[in-house]
Structures are given as C-alpha cells and as structure tokens.
Amino acid sequence: MKDFKTIKGSICAPLGFRAAAVFCDIKRLGTGKGSEKGKKRDLALIVSEAPAVVAGMFTSNQVCAAPVKVSARNAKRSSARAIVVNSGNANACTGRQGMRDAEGMTRLTAAALSSFGLTKWIPANEVLVGSTGRIGVTMPMRNVAQGIRACSRLLRRSPKNARDVAEAIMTSDTRRKEIAVEFKIGGKSVRIGGICKGAGMIQPQLTQSLHATMLAFITTDAAIESGFLRNALKVACNESFNRITVDGDMSTNDTVIVLANGLAKNRCLDRLSQNRGKFQEALNFVCLELAKMIVRDGEGISRVICLRIRGARNSTEAEAAARAVANSALVKTSWCGGDPNWGRILCAIGYSSARIDESKVDIGYSRSGSSRILFGCRRGQPTGVVLKKFAPITTAKEFDIHVDLHRGDGKFVIYASDLTEDYVSFNKGDITDPASLGG
C-alpha cells in the first residue's frame, strides 16, 4: 500500500518552482549544421522561489564533464536556487575552456535571474549546471548567454513550463520523462516532481563524491535537513538509476540533482523524523519510475528485461553477475530475437567475478512481474522445456529473468534492454555527415 499518489505537473508540481525552456541553437556552432530539424528547445532553467536545500549524485567516470565538476562543487553548499541545463553539447573533454564555460553558465544564470526579478541577487555558486550532447566540442557561449536571458524573461511571464523543460533536455530520447507524487507529512501536503533524460551511454554509477548522459532533476517543497536529503538521494539512486543499463557505457555527464525549498511547511524532516520513511519511499518511487522510463526509451531497444539475481555469495557478487549478463552482447542480441538462450546467460555469469558452481545454477523466465517461472535450466542442466513454451514470455516487450546461484543470500536486480540493429545504426554515425556523429 503506497502512502503517496501520482499527480500532474512534474517538476513544477511542488510549490515555488518555476521552469522554462527556449531554443538558442546550441548544436549549430558545434557541427556546422543549422536547425533544419525544427527548433527543439535546448536550454532550460529550473528556479526555486525560495532558497533550497540541495543534493546531487554524479558520474563516477574519471573523465567527467566540466558541468559535473561545477555542479558537484556547488551541490556541497547548504543551499541553491537554480539549475541551468542544455542539450546539444555535453561540454565534456573540453579542458580549461570547458570549465570557464560551465562557470560562465552559472554566472550568467545568477545575473539574469536577479536582473529579471526572479530572485534577489544570488552568487553564481547557488546555480547548478547540467549539459548533454556531443563530447569534445566547446560550448557556443554567445548562444547560451542569449538563451539564458530569453529563458529568464519567459520565466517571469510564464512560470510553469515543466513539459518544455523535460523536452529541452532530450537528445536521442524519443519521449519526455516526467513524474510527480504527493503525500502527507504530519498533516501537510508535500510534493516531489522529477524529470530526466537518457537513452544511450547508459549505465550510471553515481556516487556522492566528485567523481551521465543521464540527467535527472528533482524538485520538492518538503522541508528537509541537508544531510538527510543527501542520504535519501543516495539510497534512492542506488535502488534506481544505478540499476539500469542500456549499453554498459557510463557517461561523463551523469547527474541527478534535487532541490528542496521547504515551502510545504512540514516539520523539517531529518534522520530521526517519524515520517522519514514516507519521504524516502516517495523519492525511491520517483527515481525508479524515471529510471525505468530511461530503459524503456533506450536507443533502438525492442525489449526491457528485469533481471533478478539471487543466491550469490553476497550482494557485490550478485551485482557483478547481473552486470555481466545485462551487458553481454550475445545475451542482449538473443533478447532481441526473443530467444530464451539461458546458455549465454550462464556463460556470462561464468566469466563474471561472482563465484559460482555451474551445477547449482537455476535460470528461468516469467512474464513481467509474475512469479510463475518457467525454467530453462535447473542445477546447471537443461530442463528440456521446448523453446516454443518460452515464446509467449520472451517475445513480450517486457519480461523477467530469474537466476538463482544457490550459493548464499546475495541479491541484485537490474533493468536492462536488448541490443538491436537499430541501436547500431543509431550510434554508428557517418563520417561523411558530421551532424550524424553522436556524443
């Protein structure tokens, strides 16, 4: 029984959050190509009317983009007011100029917000920045500056454009990803809203230390203590964004940021609050739903598989086994064909760092969410169930795989996609058409 309900409004559902997006042609200068494909918005602002407690989780890739470095630093402060985000350019592998540009985006945003009367004067480090798009190309700062001002102007006129922002952060995504929930904390209504983007280069390994091209922005009007918010976000990410994989590539830009402005006026939540579980549960739900939207919209994918490993010696080994399977090219192509090829799954587990005994492994398939498992192998040996019996399960858009290693209590669940010809076509680009070359 969930203690919250899903509501509309996405990141603008919580009190006191404004959001808007504009088109400022960020791709053009980088690629030499114009905006023939239509003016998809590419720069967005998310602003809290009141100072907000901030928490962030960022890619653990050693090569991390300038905006990630800037946001990770600014997320360590006690409060923040705004997030500026762009698509079309990841500002990654751009060296010192990249850092200057990411800093520049926070300064320009702080200045524009106060000059348009959206906030009082705020320092640049109360602004966080997220970027996604092509790697290795410097930001077209003239366009960005113009976009930030245009977006601020728009925010004053029309404060609630969550849908436009969810669209502006899309790159290879085919649909917006947004959600909001509402629940009660001591009689007060509290809301959490979230948007995200991501379709390729997806296997986030978010850590709280400074170390995507998955971006997620979460707003809440909960009053919450900073340390508790950070911990709650870490817990939620580990159960959601850190459990998805599309292609096994961890991006240089993965970012999850949450702003909590306290306007719900609930009694401030901390790690001792009676209601802390309610908040955590709602935040987990928001993050997991957003994470699943990413897998379902994975580049070129045709199926989503929920892979459940149990019986590993410990959870670390369960995770290792799960990632080996979920990132095996041969397993993923078999999923594409609707082939219950448990031999390839067993093979991938065998080369993972999980210690296993082949003669103990069970591998079975079920419809999504069902506990009626049809086993392909038990104790490492074929069950002899004929292939066509698996077809109704394994040719569905979503299904579950259940692996029991029978070695201990370690468990891990991962949401993965198949590997299709379309994924390859989409990502291979064509050197004769530079605009086709992906980030």
For its own copies, which residue of 161, 252, 255, 275 counts as binding (CB under 8 A)?
252
Report the site for its own copies in 219-248 (rule: CB under 8 A): 247-248
- 339 lies in the site for its own copies, by CB under 8 A: yes
- 419 lies in the site for its own copies, by CB under 8 A: yes
For its own copies, which residue of 249, 270, 281, 398 counts as binding (CB under 8 A)?
249
Task: Please identify which of the residues 119, 171, 213, 394 carries the catalytic annotation.
Answer: 213
For its own copies, which residue of 34, 142, 186, 437 counts as binding (CB under 8 A)?
437
For its own copies, which residue of 38, 117, 359, 371 counts as binding (CB under 8 A)?
359
**Alpha carbons 154 and 306: distance in angstroms, whole number:** 41
Give which of 351, 312, 314 is closest to 329, Cα–Cα: 351
Which region among 13-21, 227-235, 265-273, 414-422 touches its own copies (by CB under 8 A)? 414-422
Report the site for its own copies in 27-66 (rule: CB under 8 A): 60-64
Nearer to its own copies, 12 or 348 (CB): 348
**Shortest distance, CB of residue 355 to its own copies, whole angstroms?**
7
337-340: list long-range contacts, CB under 8 Å, 24+ apart. 338/303, 338/391, 338/394, 338/395, 339/394, 340/365, 340/376, 340/387, 340/390, 340/393, 340/394
For its own copies, which residue of 8, 391, 397, 409 counts as binding (CB under 8 A)?
391
Q: By the 8 A CB rule, do 244 and 217 touch?
A: no
- 408 lies in the site for its own copies, by CB under 8 A: no
Report the site for its own copies in 146-185 (rule: CB under 8 A): none
Q: By the 8 A CB rule, do 159 and 134 touch?
A: no
Nearer to its own copies, 84 or 326 (CB): 326
125: amino acid identity, one letter: N
Nearer to its own copies, 9 or 30 (CB): 30
Q: Hey, is 229 helix, strand or coil?
A: helix
Please report where in the chains the tokens 């998809």 appear, as a residue: 40
**Shortest distance, CB of residue 255 to its own copies, whole angstroms?**
15
Give which of 393, 305, 404 is closest to 363, Cα–Cα: 404
**Alpha carbons 386 and 365: distance in angstroms, whole number:** 13
- Is 213 designated active site? yes
Report the site for its own copies in 264-323 (rule: CB under 8 A): none
**Shortest distance, CB of residue 353 to its own copies, whole angstroms?**
10
Report the site for its own copies in 182-211 (rule: CB under 8 A): 200-201, 205
How many of the chain's residues bind its own copies (CB under 8 A)? Answer: 76
Instruction: Kindly give the residue spans of alpha helices, DSSP state H, lying in 65-177.
Output: 66-74, 95-115, 141-157, 162-168
Beta carbons within 8 Å of 317's beta carbon, 6+ residues apart: 352, 353, 354, 355, 410
Report the site for its own copies in 105-144 (rule: CB under 8 A): 134-138
End-to-end CA distance of the chain: 42
Give which of 41, 255, 30 is closest to 129, Cα–Cα: 255
- 215 lies in the site for its own copies, by CB under 8 A: no
Q: Which residues are catalytic?
A: 213
